[in-house]
Amino acid sequence: MSPDTLQTDIKEGVATIRMNRPDVHNAFDDALIAALTAELRRLDQMPEVRVIVLAANGKSFSAGADLHWMQRMAKYSREENLRDAMALAGLMRTLDGVKKPTVARVQGAAFGGGVGLVACCDIAIASKEATFSLSEVRLGLIPSVISPYVIAAIGEREARRYFLTAERFDAEEARRIGLVHDVADSGVLDEAVTKIVGNLLKGGPQALAAAKKLIADVSRRSMDDALSAETARRIAAIRVESEGQEGLAAYFEKRKPNWS
């Protein structure tokens, strides 16, 4: 894991992972996906870690896909896109499935896959300045890999709006639809996260893990290999189709797509 990509601090049972690519708004690329997946798995195996906080340095929580990574993907074959999408699907499934309680500390913009990270965490606390968007359709794509988690968080009805309009919404709207649990002033965001973490630390570690498994087992379909592979297949397919290619080309050429 590159020390420049992630920063992890473990203190008094709490592991805080900070995405550390502020110059690109903590956007995903293959290196960040691999590093974050590995770090989550490592921390989940550490008995001294009781709670995992996912945070980010800089103005943004995560802007979704990195531009250079997107440019590479636009030239990938369907098979290469599938392999790439499966890595992102693996990250989301790992974050969703860790045994330790997870808390998202959202201090700024969370777009695309960044929304997926928020939805995969057990609890999400956002700053009033945070903004959100599921912007994929404006690129001729779909939020496929993150869809099981986001729909579980906000419900089908709100997904019909925000998956299709790709409009931006603020932290209060994110709380209304269920994407985040609490909204705090930026100056007291850490205090709000600390309060939640304190409540989590009062629970028995085994009981917390069992409670998480109980929720997954009784509330919705578990995220299994078949569903993970299916969501990856769908985004890989649409990326190489004409509309996906046109959407990506228009974005990088700073013009409107041909359907606009």
In a domain, 107, yes or no: yes
Tell me what pLDDT residue 214 has.
Answer: 85
In a domain, 198, yes or no: no
Q: Is the pLDDT of residue 254 over 50?
A: yes
Domain extent for 131:
6-186+203-219
Tell me what pLDDT residue 20 has.
Answer: 96
- At 178, phi and psi to the nearest 5? 100, 5
Instruction: State the pLDDT confidence band at 64, using cuts at 50, 70 and 90.
Output: confident
In a domain, 22, yes or no: yes
Over residues 223-232, mean pLDDT? 84
Over residues 100-120, mean pLDDT? 97
In a domain, 233, yes or no: no
Residues forming beta bridges with residue 255, ordered by sequence position? none
Domain harbouring 63, CATH code: 3.90.226.10
Give the least confident one: 70-74, 82-86, 171-175, 192-196: 70-74
Q: Over the chain, what HEC string results?
A: CCCCCEEEEEECCEEEEEECCHHHCCCECHHHHHHHHHHHHHHHCCCCCCEEEEEECCCCCECCECHHHHHHHHCCCHHHHHHHHHHHHHHHHHHHHCCCCEEEEECCCEECHHHHHHHHCCEEEEECCCEEECCHHHHCCCCCCCHHHHHHHHHHHHHHHHHHHCCCEEHHHHHHHCCCCEEECHHHHHHHHHHHHHHHHCCCHHHHHHHHHHHHHHHCCCCCHHHHHHHHHHHHHHHHCHHHHHHHHHHHCCCCCCCC
Q: What are the tens digits of pLDDT across the range 9-55?
A: 999 999 999 999 999 999 988 899 999 999 999 999 999 999 999 99
In a domain, 194, yes or no: no
The total number of structural domains in the chain stands at 1
**pTM of this prediction?**
0.90
User: 133 is written with which tokens?
Assistant: 């968007």
Q: Which residue has the tokens 């705090």?
A: 184
In a domain, 193, yes or no: no
Q: What are the tens digits of pLDDT across the range 199-220?
A: 999 999 998 998 998 888 888 6
More confident residue, 7 or 229: 7
In a domain, 71, yes or no: yes
Tell me what pLDDT residue 83 has.
Answer: 84
Nearest-angstrom CA–CA distance, 149 and 145: 9
In a domain, 232, yes or no: no
Tell me what pLDDT residue 1 has.
Answer: 42
More confident residue, 3 or 76: 76
User: 124 is written with which tokens?
Assistant: 């999400």
